[in-house]
Amino acid sequence: MNRQSGELAPTREPGSPEPDSQPFVHPAEDEFAAFLDFYRIQYQYEPTSFPLRWHDDGRIAEMFTPDYYLPDQDLYVELTTMKQAHVTRKNRKMRRLQELHPEINIVLIYRKNYHEILSRFGYGSVDITSLREDQIERILLSQKEIQARVRELGKQISEDYAGKSILLVGVLKGITFFLADLARSITRPLAIDYMQLTRAVDDGVQIDKDLDLDIEGQHVLLVEDIVNTGVTMDFLLERLRERKPASLRVCALLDKADRRLAPVNVRYIGFEIPNEFVVGYGLDYRELYRNLPFVCVLKKDVYEAGPALEG
């Protein structure tokens, strides 16, 4: 056997066509690609053909070309939404591939799992998710992107506060998930406290719930979901400064710098985003959408129904 270990054949063997893996030949493949796009999950369509069997003279007798490769997950995905005959054949190919390349991560997605995945992640026909689908314009930051960035922020903060302990101050309620994730990625000792504000239509910002802890002499890191005009942050910083913390810095998940009216120094920024109204990962529109695992832009007709509540 002339197996070229680790070598990936660049093209499909002309003698062994793959009837069910031509570019988007099956609507499910098209749909799955749209699903990956929707979630901003990077993928390559059929990037690699793996030789599975060889003729005695070394020519390739059988190949396997998984439908997708997801580089961030280092995972090949093969969709099997077709007939049972294909499933059996694919199962055999999968086993063979795993024998030859045990280091390769690959999943075979069956028809039933496929629909489950689409609906579980908000792209499909199940009630709650179809509701999302027609309210969400587009995903701005995927769960994966957020998680990776939050880990980076945690690492940076841990380094910058070496030898110190931190008092994290979160502004409710948008901060819920960001603070929870950020705190767990910081490796310094820390305390957590919360404030809640209201923004009256005319007379600016008001403290609704104040801190429980005394911040004098503490290294305070104020954590916000989003800095928009900066008016909220400016107000908060002034109030906190009066209480004489040892240091006071700001960490915001999102920054709409274009909208800034009050100049605030945001030391740690997760993502700069364009001037669009976003929800998810703690951010709400009229108290809804906080539990979406990603950050997305709402469709105009949803947003134009009325102004957003603060939070």
The contact set with ligand IMP (CB under 6 A) reads 174, 224-233, 277-279, 283, 308, 310-311
CB-based contacts of 91: which residues, under 8 Å, 6+ apart?
108
Does 174 help bind Mg ion (rule: CB under 5 A)? yes
Q: Kindly write down the DSSP assignment for every residue of 158-224, as one continuous string.
A: HHHTTT--EEEEEEETTTHHHHHHHHHH--S-EEEEEEEEEE-SSS-EEEEE--SS--TTSEEEEEE
Tokens at residue 242, please?
Answer: 């009066």
92-131: which residues touch Mg ion (CB under 5 A)? none
Pairing of strands 75-80, 106-110: parallel
Residue 230 binds what, of ligand IMP, Mg ion, none (CB under 5 to 8 Å, by partner type)? ligand IMP
Does 280 help bind Mg ion (rule: CB under 5 A)? no
Q: How far is the CB of 249 from ligand IMP (least distance, A)?
A: 17
Does 230 help bind Mg ion (rule: CB under 5 A)? no
**Identity of the residue, 137 or 310, whose beta carbon is nearer to ligand IMP in the bound complex:** 310
* Cis check: omega of the bond before 300, within 30 degrees of 0: no
Does 66 help bind Mg ion (rule: CB under 5 A)? no
**Identity of the residue, 124 or 174, whose beta carbon is nearer to ligand IMP in the bound complex:** 174
Q: How far apart are the C-alpha atoms of 215 and 254, rounded to whole Å?
A: 25
**Identity of the residue, 170 or 245, whose beta carbon is nearer to Mg ion in the bound complex:** 170
Query: Beta strands of 14-155 (E only): which ranges?
Result: 44-45, 50-54, 60-64, 68-70, 75-80, 106-110, 136-141
Q: How far is the CB of 233 from ligand IMP (least distance, A)?
A: 6
Helix (H) or strand (E) holding 90: helix 84-100
Residue 231 binds what, of ligand IMP, Mg ion, none (CB under 5 to 8 Å, by partner type)? ligand IMP
Residue 33 binds what, of Mg ion, ligand IMP, none (CB under 5 to 8 Å, by partner type)? none
CB-based contacts of 116: which residues, under 8 Å, 6+ apart?
none
Q: How far is the CB of 241 from ligand IMP (least distance, A)?
A: 17
Q: How far is the CB of 199 from Mg ion (least distance, A)?
A: 9
Q: How far is the CB of 68 from ligand IMP (least distance, A)?
A: 32
Does 282 help bind Mg ion (rule: CB under 5 A)? no
Q: How far is the CB of 252 from ligand IMP (least distance, A)?
A: 9
Residue 229 binds what, of ligand IMP, Mg ion, none (CB under 5 to 8 Å, by partner type)? ligand IMP
CA dihedral (136, 182, 72, 269) positive or negative: positive
The piece of 88-96, 134-142, 168-176, 291-299 that touches Mg ion (CB under 5 A) is 168-176
Q: How many residues does the chain have?
A: 311
Backbone angles phi and psi of 81, in degrees to 5:
-100, 10
